[in-house]
């Protein structure tokens, strides 16, 4: 399977799925176009917003936050808005919305100078109960009860909708379950995995756990992307191909995920074995895991 590339994040997401995401930010729009990863990474050193969505009359930046906003955050957010406004390809204004697990909903006014005040809204932990969402989806999964598009998208964001501040463990649990859900439409999978990938990259501090989850989510997103590209090609026997590719999406991860994330002592060895089995070369694995090639070969042998 091809290695997951960051610029695949949020490509070809259905408007219905984007609309569900916008409901969380209390936004309604006929236009629902997510800016892709490569457009968002204009200047990674200073400019790496989580999501930018073009709406009817604005370009909305959505930021995920696990700590209370402060002056430093407002300065960075103001920079995001200014750069996005400079780089945009339309005449719409740029606004910011923060989804926060650390504080209640409010409007923030940051004074840039005597004539300019930067305003943005926080959707806080008083609006949603992330723990309840996670527990309900976990129970539905165990009982094999159908889970809707809306529930999946809210579930992917649930780790930062919680009040218990245990964001890392909430992300871990959510990622584990998301990877096992087989009945989501392809677009919904892409959006949910993309959101979870961002949350892992941003909030998981344990390096081995972070790498494991990023690799597993990335592997799944690659499979979904390959499946979507396959269906676009003319003249293919889609019926035969669907079974093969869907088998990758639905089943491949089952053998990888069970029992590996919990056993962090052996975590790096398991990561190396999984990456090698998925087709990655020893040199690529050494680079990814920041290990010596000889160490990687020793583990594999």
The pLDDT of residue 96 is 94
The pLDDT of residue 186 is 82
The pLDDT of residue 39 is 46
How far is the C-alpha of 178 from the C-alpha of 77, rounded, in Å? 30
236: alpha, beta or left, given left = phi > 0 and alpha = psi -120 to 50?
beta
How far is the C-alpha of 296 from the C-alpha of 275, rounded, in Å? 11
The pLDDT of residue 136 is 93
What residue ranges do the domains of the chain occupy?
Answer: 6-123, 130-258, 263-301
The pLDDT of residue 231 is 45
Per residue of the chain (301 residues), give pLDDT as tens: 334 445 557 777 889 999 998 988 888 999 998 887 554 445 545 567 788 899 999 999 999 887 889 999 999 889 888 888 888 889 999 999 998 878 889 999 999 998 899 999 998 878 888 888 999 999 999 898 999 999 999 999 888 887 766 788 889 999 989 888 877 888 898 889 888 988 888 888 888 888 888 877 776 666 555 544 544 454 444 444 444 444 544 444 444 444 544 444 355 677 777 778 777 788 877 777 667 787 788 888 7
The pLDDT of residue 156 is 92
8-state DSSP, 160: G
Whole-model pTM over 0.75 = no
Topology given in CATH for the domain delimited by 6-123: Trna Endonuclease; Chain: A, domain 1 (3.40.1350)
Instruction: Quote the distance between the C-alpha of residue 242 and its chain's center.
Output: 25
Beta strands across the sheet bearing 93-100? 33-34, 51-54, 58-65, 93-100, 116-123, 106-113
């Amino acid at each position: 399977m091809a290695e997951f590339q960051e610029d695949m994040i949020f490509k070809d997401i259905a408007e219905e799925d984007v609309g569900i995401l916008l409901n969380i930010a209390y936004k309604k729009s006929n236009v629902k176009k997510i800016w892709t990863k490569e457009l968002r990474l204009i200047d990674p050193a200073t400019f790496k917003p989580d999501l930018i969505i073009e709406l009817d009359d604005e370009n909305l930046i959505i930021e995920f936050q696990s700590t209370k906003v402060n002056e430093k955050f407002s300065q960075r957010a103001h920079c995001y808005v200014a750069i996005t406004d400079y780089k945009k390809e339309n005449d719409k204004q740029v606004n910011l919305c923060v989804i926060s697990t650390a504080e209640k909903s409010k409007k923030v006014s940051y004074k840039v100078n005597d004539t300019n005040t930067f305003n943005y809204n926080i959707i806080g932990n008083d609006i949603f109960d992330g723990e309840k969402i996670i527990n309900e989806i976990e129970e539905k999964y165990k009982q094999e009860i159908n889970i809707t598009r809306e529930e999946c998208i809210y579930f992917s964001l649930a780790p930062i909708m919680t009040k218990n501040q245990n964001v890392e463990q909430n992300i871990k649990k959510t990622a584990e379950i998301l990877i096992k859900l087989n009945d989501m439409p392809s677009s919904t999978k892409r959006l949910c995995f993309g959101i979870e990938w961002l949350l892992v990259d941003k909030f998981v501090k344990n390096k081995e756990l972070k790498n494991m989850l990023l690799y597993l989510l990335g592997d799944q997103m690659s499979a979904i992307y390959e499946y979507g590209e396959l269906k676009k090609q003319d003249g293919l026997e889609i019926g035969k191909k669907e079974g093969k590719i869907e088998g990758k999406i639905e089943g491949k991860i089952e053998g990888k995920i069970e029992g590996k994330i919990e056993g962090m002592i052996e975590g790096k060895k398991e990561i190396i074995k999984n990456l090698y089995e998925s087709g990655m070369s020893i040199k690529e694995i050494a680079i990814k895991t920041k290990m010596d090639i000889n160490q990687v070969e020793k583990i594999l042998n």
